[in-house]
Amino acid sequence: MPHTPQLLAFALVALGMALTPGPNMVYLISRSICQGRTAGLISLGGVALGFVFYMLCAAFGITALLIAIPFAYDALRFGGALYLLYLAWQAVKPGGRSPFQVRDLPVDGPRKLFAMGFVTNLLNPKIAVLYLSLLPQFIDPANGSVLGQSLLLGVVQIMLSIAVNSTVAMTAGSIAVFLARKPAWLLMQRWLMGTVLAGLAVRMATEARR
């Protein structure tokens, strides 16, 4: 199993990714603002199922990849870094939008809310980057089963993401109102998001395999 410092380092990276708005958070915020907290939490259930799907696929896939091609993760690592830089630019470019800017969505029933949350997560490239580019950097075959390490790290990521996104869904309306009244805070939130993304991209591109 991963050593405690290694596990804590991954938890910090996963927390940073969870706090960085992406398709999942944008959808959950919009749904919570347009249809209420309950709708946001139902949607989060679908998102959580998507995380489990990604975790299982990545865990078995990473196991096979590390056994067959030990250095194949480098291509994923640099590709992931480029994608994170793209997200950072989208956040800070002139005319960029904050996820807390209200988007109109139709009213949906619980089944559709859950399904849309699941589909949104499956189509979320940020999660693919997390599992295919970031997670392998924290796996060391010398620490035991690669599959076991992958599953443990995946569980940590899922728990942190659910904690962050449930809090965001519950407070989205209040945050949106506050930011709408404070344009400077809205701009600060976008630049903070871009800075975190750029930092993660640099870390991903420069850190050697453990």
Reported pTM: 0.68
3-class DSSP state of 171? helix
Q: CA 12 to CA 199: how far, in whole Å?
A: 13
Q: Widest CA span of the chain, in angstroms?
A: 54
**Please, which residues have CB within 8 angstroms of residue 54's CB and are 6 or more apart in sequence?**
121, 122, 127, 128, 131, 154
- Which residue in 58, 30, 56, 57 sits closest to 44, CA to CA? 30
What percent of the chain lies above the pLDDT cut of 90?
A: 13
37: amino acid identity, one letter:
R
Q: What is the pLDDT of residues 25-75, one digit of tens each?
A: 878 887 888 788 888 899 999 999 999 988 888 777 765 665 556 565 566
Distance between CA atoms of 30 and 105, rounded to whole angstroms? Answer: 7
Tokens for 90? 């989208």
Q: Percentage of the chain with pLDDT > 70?
A: 69
Q: Write out pLDDT tens, residues 74-122.
A: 666 676 677 667 767 766 777 665 555 555 667 788 999 999 889 888 8
Whether 158 shows a pLDDT value over 90: the answer reads yes
**Per-residue pLDDT at 168 exceeds 80:** yes
pLDDT at 202 over 50: yes
Cβ-based neighbours of 41, under 8 Å, separated by 6 or more: 166, 169, 170
Predicted local confidence at residue 102, as pLDDT: 54
